Structure 1
Amino acid sequence: MTPVDEFSLIRLLTGGKQTNAFQQEGGVAVGIGDDAAVVNVNSGTQLILTCDTMTEEIHFKRITMPDRDVGFKAMASAVSDIAAMGGLPRFALISLTVPAGNNVERVRSMYEGLYDCAGRFGISIVGGDTTSSAGGITLSVTVIGETPAGQALLRSSAQPGDVVFATGYMGRSAAGLEWLLRQNLPSEQWDESAGSEHAKLVEAHCRPLPQVEAGLALSRSGVCHALNDISDGLSSEVWEIAEASGVSIDLLEERIPIAEELRAYAAAQGRDPLEYVLTGGEDYQLLGTAAAEQALALQQALGEAGIALHVIGHVHSGPAGVRLIRSGGDTLTLERQGYNHFKDRKDGE
């Protein structure tokens, strides 16, 4: 393999991936090729800016994700932060660090995944940076979104009397990761037939879909108060809302949705599927609160748009805290558990 220099690599990764017409329609005045990008923003609009980083051997391994999925997930993770604010993602910047003498095909695959995810949500990739490293690959994605002024949904807006809701299923990504680690095979050697019964779990881990449409619908509803995305496990995200809002939250175990494929996998491991839901993370579903009297109408409105909304708890006044009301009626004080970037490694040591 012949190494390429920085500028050749940039041309290889960005040339023709998004047409000028596509970018101009998305509001790009000046795209890749100058010192910085220039974009048009509507008046009466606030920008939402976020950045997310994935590092080889910390956030992904060759045995847990194909390179194309690494790129897809890096974009999805950042886009999910925009969705969690009820915003519309518009533009992205990519920073790539690769070892000297980089494997061009690996990087090309990652960029295919980046563009795949960006294209699904109408996001224009407008620039970034590349540099070399002595270690593995690091991929950092910055996404800029927008929302009508004053309408961003915050973690700190939960109110006593609200219901707590979640979109979709949780815990599947963690189960998919666990299964992949046990196989301990490079992604090129994955036997799809052997893993077919766990395909939904693996897909949930490798190619999660941020809930942009749900976030926009919740913002437009006018009855959603707090919102967060589930990146570090349900327990951790509920705690973030409780602390930021200064409220107490009760989760109802019997109301938390569990996918059948997760139930089957957890049973085979002799584990409670709720463990994966509470502490797993990387599902990128949305967690939030809404006025109780409007909850049913909100649930029906989102359902008509094809978005599942599950009421899973209640908000109370009092010191910040989270309790789990078990199906049998027992009450469990829920500790703040989930992935911590400075203590854990998602894909093992």
Structure 2
Amino acid sequence: MKLAGRDEFSIIGFLKSRCGSSECLIRGIGDDCAVTTIGPGEVQLITTDLLTEGVHFKREWIGLNALGRKAVTVNVSDLAAMGAEPRFLFLSLAIPDLLTIADLENLLDGFLSACSGYGITLAGGDTCRSASGLTLSVTAYGVAAEAAWVGRDGAEVGDAVCVTGTVGDSALALQQLFSGQTPEEQLLQRHIDPTARVEVGRRLAAGDIPTAMIDISDGLLGDLEHLLSASGVGADLKLDLLPLSSSFRSALTNNASLIDLALAGGEDYELLFTAPPSALPMIDDIAASTGVPIGRIGSIVERHSELKVYGPDGVIPLPAKRGYKHFPETG
């Protein structure tokens, strides 16, 4: 089915015909509420996120299909960070007049494609006209066994600090875009079309491995500080253990200051978690079976919420900005 128009009911009809269903969805798009079921012994996990034109994205840097995919991923990544199985999404759109029917269909195609890839069902939402730019608001629901979800507040002294994948690629691509450069394709894809680590998160949680976990959206150090604060502990990280892609390492050889992007750049959507050292062999098994590298980058220590990063010559100064802030402090 093609999108017939930009009006609310055309969009609803298009999505209803394309969104699929789920055995846990009793009533989806078309009523005032969605009706879902939840199994015995399960808990429901709910997250929401906004993507606003001019704040989170520029349309000249990201295609609408990729934007639709990214809107799904950033929400599913939150579910992955707590070990949840993604179930349902709700999408609300504020649509500017300049967005054509073809544009809108491209956006929704990307959104629904990502839903299919993550096995999550679009169950409802809303649309309205925007007097300025495009805004996507997504709410995602997932489920986990009652005793198998992971928060940020359980890290214990002696735990290993681990991270999936690589860090810094998305931030490096964004910096290059801002400076008028064309990023390498691998870097650009990490920025415009990231991947949520759903299977890794579920496997870790099911194995009762992480003591605390968070996804890296605002930056490695900033998000780790959230975890440390919630757990009442500190951490020592080793700079030489940071997982960096070959593209990032190549750029780093020409500009050593780029390491701050790996430490604090954000939008990696990797999983950052703590676990007892005894669990490291199980973590290696999960990395091997999922094809997602997982590395230890440091340890949890006693200092309350204090974070130190060690370079070859000792403790290094931390970047002044260690995470994205929508409302930065002003004097």
TM-score per shorter chain, which class?
over 0.9
**Corresponding residue for residue 24 of structure 1:** 22
CA deviation string 1:122-158 (max 9, x = no partner):
1000100001121111001100000101321111110
- Alpha-carbon displacement from aligned partner over 1:292-341 (angstroms, at most 9, x marks no partner): 12223322343233221100000011221100011x14113536612112
Q: SS of the residue aligned with 2:140?
A: strand
CA distance in 2, matches of 1:234, 1:307: 18
For the residues of structure 2 that align with 1:267 and 1:206, how far apart are their CA atoms?
Answer: 24
1:231–1:284 Cα contact (<8 Å) kept? yes
User: What one-letter code is carried by the residue in structure 2 that aligns with 1:11?
Assistant: G
- Identity fraction in percent: 33
1:283 to partner: Cα distance: 0.9
Aligned to 1:211: 197
Q: Distance in 2 between matches of 1:234 and 1:286?
A: 10
Q: Given the alignment of the two structures, is residue 258 of structure 1 paired with residue 244 of structure 2, yes or no?
A: yes
Query: What SS does structure 1 have at the residue aligned with 2:316?
Result: strand
Q: Take 1:4 and 1:306, find their aligned partners in 2: how far apart are those partners? A: 41
Q: After TM superposition, give the deviation of residue 3 of structure 1 in Å.
A: 6.7
CA 105–271 in structure 1, closer or farther in 2 if over 3 Å, else same? farther
How far off its partner does 1:240 sit?
A: 0.8
CA distance in 2, matches of 1:123, 1:257: 29
After the TM superposition, which residues 1-349 of structure 1 pair with which residues of structure 2 at under 5 Å, given as runs? 4-12=6-14, 14-19=15-20, 23-25=21-23, 27-100=24-97, 102-183=99-180, 198-268=184-254, 270-326=255-311, 328-332=312-316, 334=318, 337-343=322-328
Contact 1:51 1:143 in 2 (8 A): yes
Distance 1:322 1:123 in 2: 36
- Does the 8 Å contact 1:230/1:286 carry over to 2? yes
* Superposition TM-score, scaled by structure 2 size: 0.93
Q: Mind listing any 5+ residue stretches in structure 1 that lack a counterpart? A: 185-194, 345-349
Counterpart residue type for residue 279 of structure 2: Q
Q: Shift of residue 7 of structure 1?
A: 1.5
Aligned-pair distance for 1:55?
0.4
Structure 2 contact 235–303 (Cα < 8 Å) conserved: no
* Aligned partners of 1:86 and 1:212 also within 8 Å: yes
C-alpha contact 1:84 1:215 (8 A) present in aligned 2: yes
Residue 18 of structure 2 aligns to a residue whose secondary structure is coil
Gaps of 5+ in 2: none
Shift in Å, 1:101: 6.3
Provide the secondary structure at the position in 2 that maps to 1:152.
coil
After superposition, the Cα gap between the structure-2 partners of 1:4 and 1:234, relative to the gap in structure 1 and judged at 3 Å, is closer
Between Structure 1 and Structure 2, how many residues are aligned?
Answer: 325
Query: Does the aligned pair in 2 maintain the 1:177–1:205 contact within 8 Å?
Result: yes
> Alpha-carbon deviation of 1:53?
0.5
Q: What is the root-mean-square deviation of aligned Cα atoms in Å?
A: 1.9
SS at match of 1:63: coil
Q: Secondary structure at the match of 1:155?
A: coil
CA drift of 1:6 comes to 1.9
Q: Is contact 2:50-2:136 (8 Å) kept?
A: yes
Paired amino acid for 2:184: H
The one-letter amino acid of 1:210's match is: A
**Deviations 1:83-138, CA, capped at 9 Å, x for gaps:** 00011110000000012464222222111111111111110001000011211110
Q: CA deviation at 1:254?
A: 1.1
Report if the CA contact (8 A) 1:92-1:125 is conserved.
yes
Contact map agreement 2:211 2:273 (CA 8 A) in 1: yes
Give the conservation status (yes or no) of the 8 Å contact 1:153–1:227.
Answer: yes
Letter in 2 for 1:104: I
Match of 1:192 in 2: none
